[in-house]
A and B are shown apart, each in its own frame.
Chain A
Amino acid sequence: MRKIALENIDMLFSAISDKMSLFLPVDQNDGKAAYTKWEEGKKWSCALNTVKSPKDFFFPQTEDMMEFKVDGKNIEVIDTRKASEDFVVFGVRACDVRAFDILDRVFLTDPCDSYYATKREHGIIVSLACTRPSETCFCTAFGIDPSNPKADVSAWKTEKELYMQSNTEKGEKLLKVLADVTDEADEEKVNEQKEQISSIMKRLPLAGLDTSEFGGGKTDEFFHSPAWDELSETCLGCGTCTFVCPTCQCYDIKDFNTGKGIIRYRCWDSCMYSEFTRMAHGNNRNSQKERFRQRFMHKLVYYPENNEGIFGCVGCGRCLSRCPISMNIVKVMKALGGKENE
């Protein structure tokens, strides 16, 4: 385990950014944190988390995929991707680290998505243990330990120091690069912090959220629940929950005529949008209730069914704080779970 005094943290950032791009949460002018490329003078945010999740680094909101040159009846397909370079995403919370695993199971499953895979190969994740989880946090419901985040390097921020432990080859390499600015450390402070956090987690209002009702094979049980009507009744059908969600991975592929050629790009899409499933001859999810149900069924039943019981939610709480009507997966779980025997 390595450590560095927090007062010298810029030395650590500068040592990383000498070698490769470094992204970390920085407070924006509205007081909210967002992942920003580090450069001299940028201050690492103390916020619990960013509004937008770090999935953007591997599955960007918009991504050019290829270009077409069209000449009369002829078409040329050009792969416009440039060689990728290594980069570091620093300060990723345990919930968002799990989200990468959830996305991996989609994008890296055969046939592997090379756009995602390349970025994933080049990205080095430094996680960060939580010290002050919010009332909207419920990661423990999904078996995530916020005091012991995974990823290439795990990090803990104590009062005066940052501790780092590598978990992968990539992480080990990064810590080697940082050997000059860090010191060898024992685990005492980290263990102390872990204990502290786990006692806090138990006091959070959503600590008792129960996921045992949900999982694969429960389609029949929940699909026809009468609760969906009420839950979805005032849903605006916007894409906020989807776009702030670290695990939502639906996308669209679109063409854009630049005047000089056609760029085919992909962008985030939302199953909450009315034309997500619209076809020339109809729409198989015509009502907002059906679309709303799809999103939550996918996270609580369909995804675990295909992925050894792992839920498609990590309890980061972003949808809790961002949904315009304050409807969210916690309210859905409580309403569905409670009505099971009716």
Chain B
Amino acid sequence: MNKTETLIPKVGVITDVRIDTADIKTFRVVTPDGKKAFDHMPGQCAMLSIPGVGEAMFSITSSPTNTEYMEFSIKKCGCVTEWLHQAEVGQQITIRGPYGNAFPVESTEFRGKKLLFIAGGIGIAPLRSVINYCRHYRDNYKSINLVYGSRSMDDLVNYDEILNEWTKDKEMYIYLTVDKEDPDWVKHVGFVPNYVKELKYTPDRVAIVCGPPIMIKYTVAALKELGFKDKQIYTTMELRMKCGVGKCGRCNIGSKYVCKDGPVFRYDELGELPDEY
């Protein structure tokens, strides 16, 4: 019997903390000897924990092509995340993974296709991994679009990288929007689903949507209005998880375990699940 100690974590060290917004920080994590904890594919997750506080699942926001470290963009919203937000550089945590499936970046579902990324708020975290992966292997994909929205311009995550790197790429088109008007904001104002409709995307591309459940719901409706089929839409799900390996039962929806069979689902696969997510 092949025994992997899947529930026993490794020690990780926080080597950098970047303040993204008032409630989101991005943490850089390596092992104590300065290496990457493990390899992963875009869309996969890792379990981070602080002993005595708890363990929680986070999507890995850095790209697999980054061979030096991993990054996690984390919003403060519970025990573990609150604790992490107080952590300083040099703090050790525990890390295990990678968990779940990945976006099909190496299959023909993505390769050779036009990619449309649509993110809301912290939903950019898992997509950043895919976007940077696709930018790294740029020739494998056609044009890349990103529609990204948040409550206000102060809530945009990863703004510097978007402005200084992504917008400078060729055949990469970035559309930012905020919910509310702001004198300092000269770009689009309005909700993401409406913006997607305004941009009149043709359904000759693959859409990857991530954000709060309500944003996903309306964005998918918008895409369908534009003629997108379920099979062209991908999303990544978030449910409560404890084990990460499809055994503890928490993230079970129908016959699927989101931690193992997800978190990435194509919309036609989601449609087969009971409406409980």
Which residues from chain A sit less than 8 Å from chain B, CB to CB?
65-66, 68, 70, 73-77, 79, 106-115, 117-118, 121, 216, 219, 223, 249-253, 255, 257, 262, 264, 266, 269, 271, 276-281, 284-285, 290, 294, 297-298, 301-303, 305-306
Q: List 5 A-B contacts (CB under 8 A).
A: A65-B7, A77-B11, A253-B248, A262-B51, A271-B249
Select which of B4, B81, B94, B252 is within 8 A of A77 by beta carbon: B94
Q: Contacts A75-B51, A284-B276 given; 18 further ones with Cβ under 8 A? A: A77-B94, A106-B247, A113-B247, A114-B3, A114-B6, A216-B255, A219-B254, A219-B273, A250-B250, A253-B55, A253-B243, A271-B252, A276-B240, A279-B78, A281-B77, A284-B277, A294-B252, A305-B255
Could you tell me which residues of chain B, from 195 to 252, have a CB within 8 Å of some CB in chain A?
Answer: 212, 238-240, 242-243, 245-252
Does B52 sit at the interface, judged by CB under 8 A?
yes
- On whether the beta carbons of A284 and B247 are closer than 8 Å, the reply is no
- On whether the beta carbons of B239 and A277 are closer than 8 Å, the reply is yes
Set of chain A residues within 8 Å of B238, measured between Cβ atoms = 279
- On whether the beta carbons of A306 and B94 are closer than 8 Å, the reply is no
- On whether the beta carbons of B8 and A112 are closer than 8 Å, the reply is no
In the complex formed, the residue of A with least CB distance to B47 is A253
A256 CB, nearest partner CB in chain B, Å: 8
Set of chain B residues within 8 Å of A65, measured between Cβ atoms = 7-8
Contact mask B65-91 → A, CB, 8 Å, 1/0? Answer: 000000000000110010000001011
Closest 4 CB pairs of A and B: A250-B249, A68-B51, A280-B78, A305-B255
Select which of A75, A255, A305 is within 8 A of B11 by beta carbon: A75
Most buried by B among A74, A219, A284, A285: A284
- On whether the beta carbons of A298 and B252 are closer than 8 Å, the reply is yes
- On whether the beta carbons of A280 and B55 are closer than 8 Å, the reply is no
Which applies to chain B's interface (DSSP): helix, strand, loop or mixed?
Answer: loop
- On whether the beta carbons of A79 and B5 are closer than 8 Å, the reply is yes
A83 CB, nearest partner CB in chain B, Å: 14
A298 to B94, CA, bound (A): 32
Set of chain A residues within 8 Å of B272, measured between Cβ atoms = 219
Which applies to chain A's interface (DSSP): helix, strand, loop or mixed?
Answer: mixed
In the complex formed, the residue of A with least CB distance to B81 is A280
- On whether the beta carbons of A75 and B239 are closer than 8 Å, the reply is no
Count how many pairs of residues, one from A and one from B, have CB atoms less than 8 Å apart in the complex.
Answer: 125
- On whether the beta carbons of A79 and B255 are closer than 8 Å, the reply is no
Set of chain B residues within 8 Å of A223, measured between Cβ atoms = 274
Set of chain B residues within 8 Å of A290, measured between Cβ atoms = 276
Contact mask B171-195 → A, CB, 8 Å, 1/0? Answer: 0000000000000000000000000
In the complex formed, the residue of A with least CB distance to B257 is A306
Does B163 sit at the interface, judged by CB under 8 A?
no
A47 to B146, CA, bound (A): 66
Set of chain B residues within 8 Å of A264, measured between Cβ atoms = 51
- On whether the beta carbons of B240 and A279 are closer than 8 Å, the reply is yes
Does B22 sit at the interface, judged by CB under 8 A?
no
- On whether the beta carbons of B248 and A255 are closer than 8 Å, the reply is no
Set of chain B residues within 8 Å of A305, measured between Cβ atoms = 254-255
Select which of A74, A112, A257 is within 8 A of B2 by beta carbon: A112
Select which of B9, B250, B255, B274 is within 8 A of A277 by beta carbon: B250
In the complex formed, the residue of B with least CB distance to A261 is B51
A255 to B79, CA, bound (A): 13
Select which of B53, B77, B276 is within 8 A of A255 by beta carbon: B53
A269 with B52, Cβ < 8 A, contacts A66-B8, A306-B255 known: no
A277 to B94, CA, bound (A): 23
A114 with B239, Cβ < 8 A, contacts A250-B249, A271-B249, A290-B276 known: no
Set of chain A residues within 8 Å of B81, measured between Cβ atoms = 280
In the complex formed, the residue of B with least CB distance to A224 is B274
A305 to B272, CA, bound (A): 13
Select which of A249, A281, A301 is within 8 A of B247 by beta carbon: A249
Could you tell me which residues of chain B, from 33 to 66, have a CB within 8 Å of some CB in chain A?
Answer: 51-55
Set of chain A residues within 8 Å of B239, measured between Cβ atoms = 277, 279, 284
- On whether the beta carbons of B243 and A251 are closer than 8 Å, the reply is yes
A132 to B32, CA, bound (A): 61
A252 with B242, Cβ < 8 A, contacts A284-B277, A294-B252, A306-B255 known: yes
A76 to B246, CA, bound (A): 26
A79 to B77, CA, bound (A): 30
A253 with B51, Cβ < 8 A, contacts A75-B93, A112-B1 known: no
Select which of A110, A112, A252, A255 is within 8 A of B52 by beta carbon: A255
- On whether the beta carbons of A280 and B274 are closer than 8 Å, the reply is no
Set of chain A residues within 8 Å of B2, measured between Cβ atoms = 110, 112
B217 CB, nearest partner CB in chain A, Å: 14
- On whether the beta carbons of A70 and B248 are closer than 8 Å, the reply is no
- On whether the beta carbons of B242 and A251 are closer than 8 Å, the reply is yes
A277 with B248, Cβ < 8 A, contacts A77-B8, A112-B3 known: no
Set of chain A residues within 8 Å of B136, measured between Cβ atoms = none
B247 CB, nearest partner CB in chain A, Å: 6
A216 to B276, CA, bound (A): 18
Set of chain A residues within 8 Å of B168, measured between Cβ atoms = none
